[in-house]
């Protein structure tokens, strides 16, 4: 148990450190305006991840932790079907948001949607594993 916790803390520490190193490297390699565009991209990405989840996952995971095994599967499936619908709607919204955005080009939209999908579902899987007490 202690070894698993240490590995989890190490992984999260490496992720945080790598984000910091990436930002410092980008600030050295890119112009000030490009670093600003990167910051805006990350901020909008986090906003869309929040909008996609609507923080319903915290309620869903509370229910999930108290449910039986068969009920658990159906609740997880329902949660992810709802999430896919909301993800589709936020992707449509992003298509309308990007043309009116001054700083972010529309060329970034496919990358934005891909990163949005990966970040959101990696967060969901991480929280699901925590509820099941099976962290990496």
pTM: 0.68
Average pLDDT, the chain: 77
Each residue's pLDDT tens digit, 100-113: 566 667 777 788 88
Q: Are 17 and 9 in contact (CB under 8 A)?
A: no
What are the structural domain ranges in the chain?
1-30, 32-131
Could you tell me the pLDDT band of residue 21, with boundaries at 50, 70 and 90?
Answer: very high
pLDDT classification of 126: cutoffs 50, 70, 90: confident
Q: Could you tell me the two tokens for 14?
A: 């490496």
Rounded Cα gap, residues 123 and 44, in angstroms:
17
Q: What percent of the chain has pLDDT over 90?
A: 5
Distance CA 44, CA 32 (A): 18
Are 9 and 77 contacting, i.e. CB atoms less than 8 angstroms apart?
no
> Quick one: average pLDDT of 107-132?
80
Token readout for 58 is 């915290």
């Amino acid at each position: 148990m202690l070894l698993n916790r240490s590995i989890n803390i190490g992984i999260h520490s490496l992720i945080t450190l790598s984000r910091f190193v990436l930002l410092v490297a980008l600030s050295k390699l890119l112009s000030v305006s490009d670093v600003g565009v990167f910051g805006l991209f990350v901020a909008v990405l986090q906003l869309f991840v929040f909008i996609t989840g609507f923080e319903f996952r915290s309620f869903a995971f509370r229910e999930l932790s108290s449910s039986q095994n068969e009920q658990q599967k159906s609740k997880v499936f329902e949660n992810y079907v709802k999430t896919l619908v909301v993800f589709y709607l936020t992707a449509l919204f992003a298509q309308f948001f990007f043309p009116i955005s001054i700083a972010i080009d529309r060329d970034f939209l496919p990358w934005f949607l891909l990163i949005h999908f990966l970040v959101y579902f990696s967060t969901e899987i991480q929280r699901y594993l925590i509820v099941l007490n099976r962290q990496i």
